[in-house]
Structure 1
Amino acid sequence: MVDVRRVKLPGVGVLHTFRTDDGGKVGVITHRSGASDLVAFADYDDSPEAQNTKVTVRLAEDEARTLAELLGGTQITESLSSLEQVPGLSIDWFSVDYEDHIAGQPLGDLGAHGVIGVAVVAVVRNDVTNPAPADDFKVFPGDTLVVAGSPEKVAKAFSFYRTGEIRPKAPADAPTGA
């Protein structure tokens, strides 16, 4: 596992750094504006001489995954499994097909369609995770939506994504006659 150091940069943002197997030091500065800078040092030395040395660093798979996380593509799909143990919370994956209503459309606001208390926490596209997508995030066939909420509300969201309609679920103990 890669050990990541986090340092707050007042007025700038946050610097995350880690050491590579070949002795290099890689970092990402996440600016308050949302921009990110990739920084690579020749040595794990914090001296000014080392910080001025530019180098190409070959990253191992777990190092590259760590760098991707720092740049914004978190491994949300791998870490959500522990949340599935929370009572009343359902986390489920919706795979978007060509015939689904949501295909080619922005996510939109589910609350405007009557589904309150459910959230799309990520969209996975081509092995890239887009965490906390905005309402205007456009969804395409092949995407996977990671949805969290009560099991009933997640089912309603899936129904809407599939058909464009919310199908109200009648309570199991509701009377059937007038």
Structure 2
Amino acid sequence: MVNVRRVKLPGVGMLHTFIPEDGGKVGVIAHRSGANDLVTFSDADGDDAPAKVSLRLNEDEAHTLAELLGGTHIIEDLAALDRLPGLTIDWFSVDYDDHIAGQPLGAPADHGFQGVTVVAVVRGETAHPGPGRDFVVFPGDTLVVAGSPERVAKSFTYFRTGAVATPAGVGDPSPGR
């Protein structure tokens, strides 16, 4: 089995590398934007060493290359490593018309989302880990959010629309209450 090394590139994405049997190094930079860079490096030094090759692929091209190389199973296996029972880490890209755009982040619990944490805000090429309540969110920012899948989804609805889902039984107009 090929040993794949993964390195997070803050504000960029993830670098996946491995060393093939004949030497050198092969890498894929998976950008947060969906673009992928296929990169090869040589172990050889000197004038006769093969040059580094870099090729930018869009998302469809990257998927096609992965399928041609039989990488579908590898991608599924790597994705499984990122899953923890009951916890998801997801990214929310802020658009101009989103409720959270131009607003202080606050704390998710202030909006009824206990158990959800905004781990970081990525702005351009800079990551802001552990942003405070007064951190103002701008269009183009990416919020890195952790929590249960259901709570993360509800927080995304709030970020997008400002709507807060009320817990079951609260404000229930059913008879007998």
- TM-score, length-scaled by structure 1: 0.49
- TM-score, length-scaled by structure 2: 0.49
